[in-house]
């Protein structure tokens, strides 16, 4: 048994980066609306450590609005090449503006412009309308840096539980559950 789930995550994540053919940082993000109706989608991990797992998005998107109303989430990493998955559950907070600004500045210019042009998750009458909005934004910021939109930022999921799942023959899988308590992290095993 280990005592540091973040060290174990770092080891597994490094192996996934070496073996996964596409997007080892992809994770399923599950949120729920105030009535408890769940929704899930894929996002990209952009930072992690003992303080949590960070991703960025339009805060007026469906996931952003659900997190504003119900600031709890679950994450799932599935690394098929390794036959492993990691589940993370916990409360969610918005990252500091300085951190969001720094990450936004690291994105490609087209991605920056797209963050301004897209009303993510809203109904789009036609693809042409989005393309026109994108061109208008490109013209607006021509010859200058693209600032982070005020509605775009990061979220940090601070884990209360982290489960490490390893495939085993005959569905006799290994499941290691780390739970955060008053005295720190404890590890237990779960039946497959």
Give the model confidence (pLDDT) of 8-29 as tens digits.
999 999 999 999 989 999 999 9
Residue 1 pLDDT greater than 60, yes or no: no
For residues 159-179, give the mean pLDDT. 96
Q: Which of 79, 83, 78 is nearest to 20 (CA)?
A: 79
**Is the domain covering 5-190 a CATH 3.10.310.10 domain?**
no
Residue 100 pLDDT greater than 60, yes or no: yes
Percent of the chain with pLDDT over 90: 95
Q: CA-to-CA distance for 164 and 77, rounded, in angstroms?
A: 10
Instruction: Count the Cβ atoms, other than its own, within 10 Å of residue 71.
Output: 15
pLDDT-derived band at 3 (thresholds 50, 70, 90) equals confident
Residue 2 pLDDT greater than 90, yes or no: no
β-sheet bridge partners, residue 38: 32
Instruction: Enumerate the active-site residues.
Output: 171
What is the H or E stretch that residue 129 is in? helix 127-140
The mean pLDDT of the chain is 96
pLDDT-derived band at 46 (thresholds 50, 70, 90) equals very high
For residues 77-92, give the mean pLDDT. 97
3-state SS of 17-42? HHHCCCCCCEEEEEEECCCCCEEEEE
For residues 157-162, give the mean pLDDT. 98
Residue 112 pLDDT greater than 80, yes or no: yes
What is the structure's pLDDT at 109? 98
pTM of the full structure: 0.94
What are the CA-CA distances from residue 66 to residues 42, 72, 143, 156 (Å)? 15, 9, 36, 14
């Amino acid at each position: 048994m280990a005592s540091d789930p973040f060290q174990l995550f770092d080891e597994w994540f490094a192996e996934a980066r070496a073996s996964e053919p596409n997007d080892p940082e992809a994770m399923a993000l599950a949120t729920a609306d105030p009535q408890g109706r769940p929704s899930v989608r894929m996002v990209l991990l952009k930072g992690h450590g003992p303080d949590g797992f960070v991703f960025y998005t339009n805060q007026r998107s469906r996931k952003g609005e659900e997190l504003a109303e119900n600031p709890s989430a679950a994450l799932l990493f599935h690394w098929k090449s390794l036959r492993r998955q990691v589940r993370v559950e916990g409360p969610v907070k918005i990252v500091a503006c300085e951190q969001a600004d720094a990450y936004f500045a690291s994105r490609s210019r087209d991605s920056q412009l797209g963050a301004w042009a897209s009303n993510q998750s809203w109904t789009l009458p036609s693809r042409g309308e989005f393309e026109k909005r994108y061109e208008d934004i490109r013209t607006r910021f021509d010859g200058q840096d693209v600032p982070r939109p005020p509605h775009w930022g990061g979220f940090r999921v601070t884990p209360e539980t982290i489960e490490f799942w390893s495939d085993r023959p005959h569905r006799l899988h290994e499941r290691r559950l780390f739970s955060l308590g008053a005295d720190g992290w404890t590890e237990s095993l779960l039946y497959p």
